[in-house]
Amino acid sequence: MNIKEMQYDIKFKLNKIDSQQYRNLRIPELDWSINEAHDIFIKSIAEPRTPSYLGFEVNQRTIDDIRTIVINDLKLNPIKIDNKTYKVSLPQNYMFYISADVVISRENCSDRIARAIVKQHDDRFEISPFDDSSFEWKEVNIRFYEEGIKLFTNGTFEIKEVRLNYIRKHAYIHNAQDFLPTGSYKLPSGTVLTGIQNSELPEHTHREIIDIAVLILTNNLELPSYQLKQAKVNLNQT
């Protein structure tokens, strides 16, 4: 479904609720609702997490729903902070973490691929030999911070490379070419949009995204008649 078809479907569903109320919505408002709906849809997949694992729940449906915006094995070069700590910056298009592998090395040993273990900021793993990073067990503790990821060793090995799997930001979906008279419009960020940008998500997700967009618009317009539909969507996401 392209952006024009998505806009048409949203208009059709809104007109069934209240054709007069919806008549004056403009293309930038429709585009905004579609992008907000994409973010909500992606977040609903990415955020079923546990305290010890920040990746999304992997099953066939989630893989199929967001496969087009998943980046695998992005290679990052770590910067050494001290004898035990390294850091990497996240890419600009980073949205959600899935998992990471870490290439580790030690003198007189072959390089190994370790699993990154996400730790919370109150975890004191470094005081326990059972929870600390380990070359033998091929585990490296990591923490997220404002600028990226910090990686921790136990001081007996080094980190050579991080291979990051993540969900990237989607391109801003829009139909600027039909916004007359200029065929363009400016986002609050100052970016000027021209032409069109279709959804990057697989087509089988578009109906659900359209339903979310309608909910967004009706809530903004304070139409209580659509609250039952919202409850149904919430139930489907649990």
- Domains of the chain: which residue ranges? 3-48+171-237, 69-168
pTM: 0.83
State the Cα–Cα distance between residues 173 and 3, nearest whole angstrom.
7
Of the ranges 4-18, 91-105, 125-139, 221-235, the best mean pLDDT one: 91-105
State the Cα–Cα distance between residues 18 and 49, nearest whole angstrom.
38
According to CATH, what is the number of the domain 69-168?
2.40.30
Contact 196, 174 (CB under 8 A): yes
Contact 27, 178 (CB under 8 A): yes
What are 148-175's pLDDT values in tens digits? Answer: 999 999 999 999 999 999 999 999 999 9
The residue that leads in pLDDT, 190 or 223, is: 190
What DSSP letter does each residue of 63-76 carry, written as one string? HHHHGGGEEEEEEE
pLDDT at position 193: 97
- Closest Cα to residue 17, out of 233, 235, 231, 222? 222
Least confident stretch, 43-52, 109-118, 143-152, 186-195: 43-52
Q: Is the pLDDT of residue 236 over 60?
A: no
pLDDT at position 116: 96
State the Cα–Cα distance between residues 131 and 125, nearest whole angstrom.
5
State the Cα–Cα distance between residues 23 and 18, nearest whole angstrom.
9
Residue with tokens 């490379």: 161
Query: How confident is the model over 182-209, as a mean pLDDT?
Result: 96
pLDDT at position 59: 60
In terms of C-beta distances under 8 Å and separation of at least 24 residues, what long-range contacts does 109-112 make, across chains too? 109/135, 111/160, 112/138
